[in-house]
Amino acid sequence: MDSEAIDDPMPMASTSDDNAETIGEKLIALAQGKPNGISDADISKQFPDLQPKQKATIINKLLSQGQIALFKQGNSLLYRFKDPSKGQAVKGADNEEKIVYSIIEQAGNEGIWIRDIRFKSNLMNTQMNKILKILETKKLIKAVKSVAAGKKRLYMLYNLEPARSVTGGAWYQDQDFEAEFVDILNQQCHRFLEEKREAASKFEDGPAPSRIMTYASSQEVLKFISDLGISKVKLSVEDLEMILDTLVLDDKAQMMISSDGNKLYRAFKSLVLPSGFTKTPCGLCPIMANCCDVGDVTPTKCEYITQWMDL
């Protein structure tokens, strides 16, 4: 009896270890599928039954084994898969190359300016440029241009997809804002909402059901745009919501949040003509109350009113 009591816990511990090992392998696979990194929310979504204590144990083990790395992206912590082949390539490099690689690695998919690399590494310009060229030749890092500053280059790891803040997302092509493309999307989104409103007006079961039928989710609008085939790039729901939100600001549509948290839009025609003031940047400015003749928010410093006056 006593021997049975002693032997019982052993298989349970082994099963737990095997389970942790399996979850660890799946977590690594998840990180491999998202080169830009995975968040705690991604892990919780993938493993909803994983207890916080067990999750921390598994993550700490993977970190200590060097299979994943921890980075801070904005205000969020991300876990990124560490490619062993990349590690071996850096392993044979000198200390300066390892330092520069580590600095660029920490920057994630938002990249880092060469000036900031130089500041953090304390290396001279000539040496810095030589190291960057070596790392680029080895395809460990790459240089990308940012829409925020076209003449400057950002450096990031070779396998990372640049963040939207760097590329400008779907609205930029070769760093140029695609104004015509945005206008076409704006028109087609408005047309879809208008057609939905007209179809609902023929519904004869009363005003309340008819009004509900005028609303379309951003997913519905995305499907409509995708079916038209007018976009060469793959658009996300967030991309379409940016376009739809401009219709709301232009007083051409209304938006409401559904019970499940999704945004719903419908075409809207105002019964009252807007004043000319609403056509100016000031009429729609969210910080107009803070605008005065001194300080950071002033008419003389406002780039939007300057652009508007130049039209």
* Cα–Cα distance for residue pair 32/98, rounded to 1 Å: 22
**The pLDDT of residue 8 is above 70:** no
Tokens found for residue 179? 């104004």
- Fold annotation for 1-81: Arc Repressor Mutant, subunit A (1.10.10)
Instruction: Note the pLDDT of residue 273.
Output: 63
Domain coordinates in residue numbering, the chain: 1-81, 83-167, 176-273, 280-311
Task: Single out the residue of 97, 110, 15, 42 nearest to residue 71, CA to CA.
Answer: 110
Q: How confident is the model at residue 206 (pLDDT cuts 50, 70, 90)?
A: low
Instruction: Note the pLDDT of residue 132.
Output: 93
229 vs 284, more confident: 229
Where is 248: in which H helix or E strand? Answer: helix 237-249
Tokens found for residue 261? 């948290």
Q: How confident is the model at residue 227 (pLDDT cuts 50, 70, 90)?
A: very high
Same fold, 1-81 and 176-273: yes
In tens, the pLDDT along 122-161 reads: 888 899 999 999 999 988 899 988 877 766 789 998 888 8
Tell me the chain's radius of gyration from C-alpha atoms.
Answer: 27
Q: Considering the chain, what percentage of its residues have pLDDT values greater than 90?
A: 19
Lowest mean pLDDT among 162-166, 192-196, 205-209, 245-249: 205-209
In tens, the pLDDT along 257-279 reads: 988 888 999 998 766 666 666 66
Q: What CATH code would you report for 83-167?
A: 1.10.10.10
Instruction: Note the pLDDT of residue 15.
Output: 36
**The pLDDT of residue 4 is above 70:** no
- Fold annotation for 176-273: Arc Repressor Mutant, subunit A (1.10.10)
- Predicted TM-score (pTM) of the model is 0.53
- Count of other CB atoms within 10 angstroms of residue 204: 7
219 vs 272, more confident: 219
Q: What is the DSSP string of 78-137?
A: EEEE--HHHHHHHHTS-HHHHHHHHHHHHHGGG-EEHHHHHHHHT--HHHHHHHHHHHHH
